[in-house]
Chain A
Amino acid sequence: MTVASAKEDLVSPPVKRRKKFDKQGRLAFWLLLPACVAVFGVIIYPMFRTLVVSLFQVDSALATVTPFVGLGNYLSVLSNSDFWASIGRTFYFTLVSTALELVLGLIVAGLLNAKLKWRWLFRTIVVIPWAIPTIVNAAMWKGIFNAQYGALNALLTQLGIIHSYQAWLGDPNLALNMVILADVWKTVPLVAFFLLAGLTSIPTELYEAAKLDRASWPRIFRSIVLPMLVPSISIVLVLRTVEAFKVFDIIYAMTRGGPIDSTSTVAYFAYETAFSDQNFGIGSAISYIITIFILALSAVYLRLLRRSDLSLL
């Protein structure tokens, strides 16, 4: 590219060159326009509109009188104890689900990386949970956890672990953990595949050298696998934390926030405030606060991970 353009510079006069770029630029502009319109229409405009709405008191989908309240909506959200409770539950969901997914994902990735017969088949099967739509996954787990005919109750009673059927989603101390279980089942494959990509890129020579040095497996894991996986882990962590923090659909389909709000995460709280209570101003303010939380989380992560030499980010 550089050689070619340098040659061109020598041959063609500057005016002609400018014209050519002009033509190319115009083409590029028209080629990019559809993408720009799409991005503007479905990302930038809604975000901007939400920001505007968050500054007004909008208490109807068809409100005609919408007084300007400035940061009033934000202040009322931040002073609402229900909001902070939902933030607490969201952090719990994020922390536990991401941690479980990472640990289980690493184990699954390790198994899929082993030299097995039919490895391609196992790799295909493992992907299935990830391919199931969240709503279907939620309905399926709701069935498994059902207090009267759920498979989990049948399994545990027949194994003699519990003596009577439990209402897994009816106990406020259990419900969120059960939702986490459903989420983990669906997401482990994704995490596993990210980590598998990292595992396959570790040169086999490293393992061989370590074996020659008589390193034990835990030692190899700690000194070779884990450090080499840091780039993959960092991507997965950021991705999953942000995703988990926004969790909505699985909650909507499994528990609708109950019992006693014990599964009402902040995204569900925002939905309820905006669409069920028709407090669109406050609902918009909550969405912006969620965005700020996610930005802060991502920033912390990226900073932590950047310290590692091997990180891609």
Chain B
Amino acid sequence: MKFTSKRLRRAMVGIGIAAVATIIVSGCSVTGASSNAGSAGGNSGTINALFMKQAGYSESDVDAIIKSFEKKYPKITVKPTFVAYEALHDKIVTSAPAGTYDVVHMDVIWPAEFASKGLITNVTKQFPASWKSSMLGGALSSAEYKGQYYGVPWGPSTKLFFYNKAMLAKVGATADDVKTWDGVLAVAKKLKDQGVVKYPLSWSWSQAEALICDYAVMLGAFGGQFTDSSGKLDVNNQAGVEALAWMRKTITDGLTDPASLTFLEDDTDKSMAAGKTAMELNWESTFRDLNDPSISKIVGDAAVSAPPAGPTGVNPGVNGSMALAIPTGSKHKTAAWTFIKYITSEAVQDKYVKSSMTNWKASYTQPTITQSNPEVFAAAGKAYDSMLSRPEVPDYNQVSQILQVDIQKALLGKLSPQAAMDDAVKQANALS
């Protein structure tokens, strides 16, 4: 027995030493990253693609696109995975070392982080120069960082203003009455006072990126921007504070559903579809959902417009475009590029404009395409002319978290809007 335990002990010590040695050998990088640079692979095989399951293209849209792609390129098989937007970023990060995915769906706020940290492939060389002029500028920024391209835009996106025509008609209001945020407030007050709906407004104000998107729209309407010319967060000025004070006021006046603080976009969408909300900000595909009889009680009552204007008369929406990128660890980069080129092509995007707008400028002047989703084309076309960007910095995620907490503190009345924004600016600018 003694003999055995000695042997076992020796074996254990051996394993321990081997482990330490492994770490020391790979010691130059504790992540072991240099060993996983991925490879081009042939223009064939199976590629894994990670998509978002939320606004925009639906799961069945993507499945249909993949089917038609596989028919055209029979040597390539695409295996899609869908995750909620809230899980998408972390999924891309955690799968990076293993190189699980060959194509990932990327939000406009991530290129700076992913590119500077080496998580996605630089595709500037493959990116045709003509695309830079034939695609919408706002959409292009979802794939660009420091003049280099790290993916291909797959649909521009911005939050539009949705309202229930039938409810508004009950208080004698029309589209012209909700062209400004002041007008929205006045209509909301009438809706509440006349008992049409208990809370006329609902928003996606839970502690998440969705809150920053709504704040961005208000910030833009009050004439503000997130950063100053040197790239520092600059929201504790007049516009930044007034926008937040306006948001808070809709709560204290009882016009905003208090549940908004637990809502993501999907929840506001459902609330409006259930007839519990008269007006909301949401992404383009909301119009499709509000008119889908299987999930909506207000089919035919929904109307959509560009975001209302603020006191300065401007109404830039938030830039929420998305792109498709190739992770660094992919072993099928050639096949992945073939797929991305196909799925982002003008012909494919034009076919699904009910789900997601297209990033090809030419489509906006073709009546056959704009007629297939006229309301959203009319609203979005205007909104895309000017879109407000969230800070394009590598540590955006931390900046966003700071803003989320401070904005919520103001919304809940824990801090004054000025104090909240002062705190956010102080914290965010101390990061780097």
Q: List 19 A-B contacts (CB under 8 A).
A: A21-B1, A21-B4, A44-B19, A48-B23, A49-B23, A49-B30, A52-B30, A60-B33, A60-B117, A61-B31, A66-B30, A66-B31, A147-B262, A148-B276, A167-B258, A167-B261, A257-B207, A276-B89, A277-B398
Residue B67 is within 8 A (CB to CB) of chain A in the complex = no
Q: Are B3 and A59 in contact (CB under 8 A)?
A: no
Stretch from B344-352, B376-384, B408-416 contacting the other chain: B408-416
> Given A49-B23, A63-B31, A148-B276: A259 and B261 within 8 A (CB)?
yes
Residue B107 is within 8 A (CB to CB) of chain A in the complex = no
Q: Are B408 and A259 in contact (CB under 8 A)?
A: yes
CB neighbours of B259 from chain A (8 A): 146-148, 165, 167, 170
User: Which residues of B pack against A, CB within 8 Å?
Assistant: 1, 3-4, 7-8, 11-12, 15, 19, 23, 29-31, 33-34, 36, 86, 89-90, 93-94, 96-97, 113, 117-119, 206-208, 257-262, 271, 274, 276, 328-329, 395, 397-398, 401, 404-405, 408-409, 412, 414
CA distance A70 to B34 in the complex (A): 22
Residue A56 is within 8 A (CB to CB) of chain B in the complex = yes
Residue A115 is within 8 A (CB to CB) of chain B in the complex = no
**A side interface size, CB within 8 A:** 50
> Given A21-B1, A277-B398: A259 and B207 within 8 A (CB)?
yes
CB neighbors of B among A41-70 (8 A):
44-45, 48-49, 52-53, 56, 58-66
> Given A260-B414, A278-B113: A45 and B33 within 8 A (CB)?
no
Closest residue of chain B to A280 (Cβ to Cβ) is B31
CB neighbours of B15 from chain A (8 A): 36, 40
User: Which residues of A pack against B, CB within 8 Å?
Assistant: 18, 21-22, 24-26, 28-29, 32, 36, 40, 44-45, 48-49, 52-53, 56, 58-66, 146-148, 165-167, 169-172, 255-261, 272, 275-278, 280
> Given A25-B3, A52-B23, A260-B408: A60 and B118 within 8 A (CB)?
yes
CA distance A171 to B251 in the complex (A): 13
CA distance A257 to B401 in the complex (A): 11
Listed from nearest, the 6 A-B pairs whose CB atoms lie closest are A258-B207, A25-B4, A147-B259, A60-B117, A170-B261, A62-B33
Chain B binding site: helix, strand, loop or mixed by DSSP? helix
Chain A binding site: helix, strand, loop or mixed by DSSP? loop
Closest residue of chain A to B11 (Cβ to Cβ) is A29
> Given A63-B29, A64-B118, A259-B206: A172 and B93 within 8 A (CB)?
no
CB neighbours of B276 from chain A (8 A): 148
CB neighbours of A260 from chain B (8 A): 207, 405, 408-409, 412, 414
B308 to chain A, nearest CB (A): 24
A41 to chain B, nearest CB (A): 11
Q: Are A29 and B4 in contact (CB under 8 A)?
A: yes
CB neighbours of A146 from chain B (8 A): 259, 262
Partner of A277, one of B11, B329, B397, B414: B397
CA distance A261 to B257 in the complex (A): 21
B259 to chain A, nearest CB (A): 3
B203 to chain A, nearest CB (A): 12
CB neighbours of B261 from chain A (8 A): 167, 170-171, 258-259
CA distance A59 to B431 in the complex (A): 13
CB neighbours of A25 from chain B (8 A): 1, 3-4, 7
CB neighbours of A60 from chain B (8 A): 31, 33, 117-119
B277 to chain A, nearest CB (A): 9
Known: A60-B119, A256-B86. 5 other contacts (CB 8 A): A21-B4, A61-B93, A64-B34, A259-B206, A275-B90
CB neighbours of B257 from chain A (8 A): 147-148
Q: Are A63 and B33 in contact (CB under 8 A)?
A: yes
Partner of A62, one of B36, B260, B398: B36
CA distance A32 to B9 in the complex (A): 13
CA distance A255 to B263 in the complex (A): 10
Q: Are B30 and A61 in contact (CB under 8 A)?
A: no
CB neighbours of B93 from chain A (8 A): 61, 275-276, 278
CA distance A102 to B118 in the complex (A): 49
Q: Are B258 and A29 in contact (CB under 8 A)?
A: no
Closest residue of chain A to B276 (Cβ to Cβ) is A148
CB neighbours of B89 from chain A (8 A): 276
Q: Are B8 and A64 in contact (CB under 8 A)?
A: no
